[in-house]
Structure 1
Amino acid sequence: MTLTIVTLLPSLLNTNGDAENAAVLARRAGWAGLDARVVEVESRDDLPARVDAIVIGSGTDASLDAARTRLLELHDDLRRWGTEGVPILAVGTGWELLSWGIELPDGTGIEGLGILPGRAVPDVGGRIIGDLVVAERGSRELLVGFENHARAYVGAEGSPLGRVRSGAGNAKGSGQEGVVMGEVIGTHLHGPVLAKNPALADRILTTMAARAGLGYEPGEKTRVVDAYAESARRAHLTAAGVEVEPAASDARD
């Protein structure tokens, strides 16, 4: 069986390279001995027969209307995938388009698809840019990445991805980042987030494999690459002023 990871609208929603989260999943699956492929979907006609995970990247505000129009064609599919527990990772404006809606500075708005709770609203403090560190809810994992957004996200306080340790997250002073509903994740974390946070990628892959009746166990190549990722993560945490716990190998020395 081949696991199929769909990246939606990469021509419009890949400003920060976030569509490449799909490539991260496929590569890690391959290192674990699983067949996987990435399928770029620009319209519903491009959908493969089987979908095991969906990645939606971020785009510019100039692409919002066009992206929304194309995503509306997939509204029923997205809602069904979310209900069935297919992992969906949406970043930046891709996440905002799955929300209740986006409010623009001129008073107009864009209706979202209503897949995730909350809405994006203009941030009174201006654009939020900088390193972001998040303590993932229900986990000891620290997620790292870069945030760059002109809007705050409100109305999803009951289901965040995690608690902000450094940075702004959903809004300055909110203390929260992202939103999670079942296996659907929305986040401001760029990076791409799955390359910088291998543990999150592995949780998504574990869900994908289990739904397909397969097992997922990171391969030897994965561990080599993750050592580089961990070094970069620790540098990120240190720069952000977040205390870094000793690595397991350090604790044994």
Structure 2
Amino acid sequence: MTLTIVALLPGLQNTNGDAESAAVLARRAEWAGLDARVVAVDDRGGLPDRVDAIVLGSGSDSSLETSRAALLTMHDELRAWGTEGVPILAVGTGWELLSWGIERPDGSGIEGLGILPGRAVPSRGRVTGDLVIASPRFGTLVGFENHARDYVGAEGSPLGRVRAGRGNGRDSGQEGVVMGSVIGTHLHGPVLAKNPSFADQLLGLAATRAGLDYAPGARAAIVDGYAAAAREAQIGAARAAASVTDA
């Protein structure tokens, strides 16, 4: 059995390297002794027969319409996979496109695929900087946020609580959204490279669905040490920045 990890629209939705989270999943699966491959998919015709996990990264606003048109060709499959428990990680505009929709400052909008609750709305200005959250399901997660929209309507199903940064905004104190195995987040990085335990939980879901056992391999422990050091440095910097702001 080979785990098939789909990177959706990597040519359009990889502004912050988020599509590389698919490669993180595949490599960690290989370190655990499992066969895995990454399949880049640009439209419905490129979908493999079996899909075990999906990564949809973030793109520029100029590509929103093009990306939406491509995703619409796969709408039924995406909805079915989410219902069936296939882990789907969507970041930035990829997440927004899976939502109810995106509102623009001029009053126009883009209808989303409606797979995740909530919608993206204009914020007062672009938000950039370190983002640290506490997730009841995935633990402490770190990343970098870079977005000009807040996210509303996901109050009952956030990925976690903001410990540093802005997250969904509008004073919600929340970040991201989760519906079953479908996850939307502002965390760039790519997020799975910065948060190996997050990657391992998604791989565990994918492996279980495929009838396989997953446990991190010995090589993962070495790499995770580097990730842990980087995470601690980022968390420390975020705390320091917050203390200066509060002073």
Could you tell me the TM-score, scaled by structure 2's length? 0.96
Deviations 1:29-77 (A, max 9, x none): 0000000000000011100000000000000000000000000000000
**Amino acid of the structure 2 residue aligned with 1:20:** E
DSSP-derived class of the 1:36 partner: strand
Deviation for aligned residue 1:190: 0.2
Is 1:226 equivalent to 2:221 in the alignment? no
Partner of 2:243: none
The separation in 2 between residues aligned to 1:111 and 1:240, in whole angstroms, is: 34
Deviations 1:96-149 (A, max 9, x none): 0000000001110000000000000001x211110000001245x210000000
RMSD: 0.8
Deviation for aligned residue 1:15: 0.5
Deviations 1:195-215 (A, max 9, x none): 000010000000011000000
Is 1:201 equivalent to 2:166 in the alignment? no
**Amino acid of the structure 1 residue aligned with 2:22:** A
Deviation for aligned residue 1:172: 4.6
**Amino acid of the structure 1 residue aligned with 2:68:** R
The separation in 1 between residues aligned to 2:170 and 2:131, in whole angstroms, is: 12
DSSP-derived class of the 2:239 partner: coil
**Amino acid of the structure 1 residue aligned with 2:129:** G
Partner of 1:245: none
Is 1:179 equivalent to 2:174 in the alignment? no
Map 1:83-232 → 2, pairs under 5 A: 83-123=83-123, 125-138=124-137, 141-232=139-230
Which ranges in structure 1 are unaligned for 5 or more consecutive residues?
243-253
Which ranges in structure 2 are unaligned for 5 or more consecutive residues?
241-247
The separation in 1 between residues aligned to 2:170 and 2:34, in whole angstroms, is: 41
The separation in 1 between residues aligned to 2:180 and 2:39, in whole angstroms, is: 23
**Amino acid of the structure 1 residue aligned with 2:135:** E
DSSP-derived class of the 1:240 partner: helix
**Residue from 233, 239, 242 that aligns with 1:241:** 239
The separation in 2 between residues aligned to 1:86 and 1:99, in whole angstroms, is: 17
Partner of 2:244: none
**Amino acid of the structure 2 residue aligned with 1:61:** D
The separation in 1 between residues aligned to 2:13 and 2:137, in whole angstroms, is: 29
Partner of 1:44: 44
DSSP-derived class of the 2:59 partner: coil
DSSP-derived class of the 1:150 partner: strand
For the 8 Å contact 1:137–1:160, the answer to whether it is kept is no
Deviation for aligned residue 1:237: 0.7
The separation in 2 between residues aligned to 1:31 and 1:172, in whole angstroms, is: 41
Partner of 1:32: 32
The separation in 1 between residues aligned to 2:152 and 2:116, in whole angstroms, is: 11
